[in-house]
Amino acid sequence: MAPSEASAPPKRVIGLISGTSVDGIDAALVEITGKDLDIKVELLAGQTYPYPADLRERILAICAGEAISMWELAQIDDAIARAFAQAAQNIQTGHQPATLIGSHGQTVYHRPPEPGGEGKKNLGYTLQLGRGALIAYLTGITTVSNFRVADIAIGGHGAPLVPRVDAFLLSHPHESRCIQNLGGIGNVAYIPPRTDNWLSQIRAWDTGPSNSLLDLAVEHLSGGTKTYDEEGKWAASGTPCHPLVEKWLTQEYFHLPPPKSTGRELFGVAYLNQCFQDAEPYQLSPADMLATLTELTVASIVHSYRTFLPQMPQLVFLCGGGSRNLYLKQRLQLALDKIPVLTTDEAGLNADFKEAIAFAVLAYWRQLGIPGNLPTATGAPAEVLLGEINQQWTVKSGQWTVDSGQ
Ligand SMILES: Nc1ncnc2c1ncn2[C@@H]1O[C@H](COP(=O)(O)OP(=O)(O)OP(=O)(O)O)[C@@H](O)[C@H]1O
Ligand SMILES: CC(=O)N[C@H]1[C@@H]2OC[C@@H](O2)[C@@H](O)[C@@H]1O[C@H](C)C(=O)O
Longest CA–CA span in the chain (Å) reads: 74
Summarize pLDDT for 52-88 with one digit per residue, the tens: 999 999 999 999 999 999 999 999 999 999 999 999 9
Q: Are residues 226 and 249 in the same domain?
A: yes
Collapsed DSSP state (helix, strand, coil) of residue 301 = helix
Q: Are residues 51 and 196 in the same domain?
A: no
Q: Are residues 194 and 135 in the same domain?
A: no
Q: How far is the CA of 306 from the centre of ligand 1 (A)?
A: 25
Summarize pLDDT for 309-350 with one digit per residue, the tens: 999 999 999 999 999 999 999 999 999 999 999 999 999 999
Q: Are residues 83 and 36 in the same domain?
A: yes
Q: Which helix (H) or strand (E) holds 58?
A: helix 53-63
Point out which residues pair with 14 in neighbouring strands. 29, 101
Q: Is the CB of 263 under 6 A from ligand 1?
A: no
Please report which confidence band the pLDDT of residue 2 belongs to, taking 50, 70 and 90 as the band edges: very low
Please report which confidence band the pLDDT of residue 3 belongs to, taking 50, 70 and 90 as the band edges: very low
d(CA 322, CA 258): 23
| Closest ligand to Cα 158 | 2
Does residue 15 have a pLDDT over 50?
Answer: yes
Task: Report the number of distinct structural domains present in the chain.
Answer: 2
CATH code of the domain in which 241 resides:
3.30.420.40
Q: Are residues 148 and 282 in the same domain?
A: no
Contact status, residue 197 vs residue 188, Cβ threshold 8 Å: no
Range of the domain at 181: 163-347
Letter for the amino acid at 356?
Answer: A
User: Residue range 263-271: average pLDDT?
Assistant: 95
| Closest ligand to Cα 359 | 2
What pLDDT, on a 0 to 100 scale, did the predictor assign at position 270?
94
User: Residue range 212-220: average pLDDT?
Assistant: 97
Atom 7 of ligand 2: nearest residue by CA position: 185
Letter for the amino acid at 193?
Answer: P
Where b means 16+ CB within 10 Å and e means fewer, 126-155 reads bbbbbbbebbbbbbebbbbbbbbbbbbebb
* This prediction's pTM: 0.95
Task: Kindly provide the residue ranges of all beta strands, DSSP E only, lying in 202-337, ordered along the sequence.
Answer: 203-209, 315-319
HSE (CB half, 13 Å, CA atoms) of 93?
Answer: 8
Does residue 234 have a pLDDT over 80?
Answer: yes
Looking at per-residue confidence, does 86 or 196 come out higher?
86
What are the angstrom distances between the C-alpha of 388 and each of 15, 126, 363? Answer: 15, 15, 9
Summarize pLDDT for 157-191 with one digit per residue, the tens: 999 999 999 999 999 999 999 999 999 999 999 99
What pLDDT, on a 0 to 100 scale, did the predictor assign at position 1?
43
Q: Are residues 343 and 383 in the same domain?
A: no
Q: Which atom of ligand 2 is nearest to the CA of 157?
A: 1
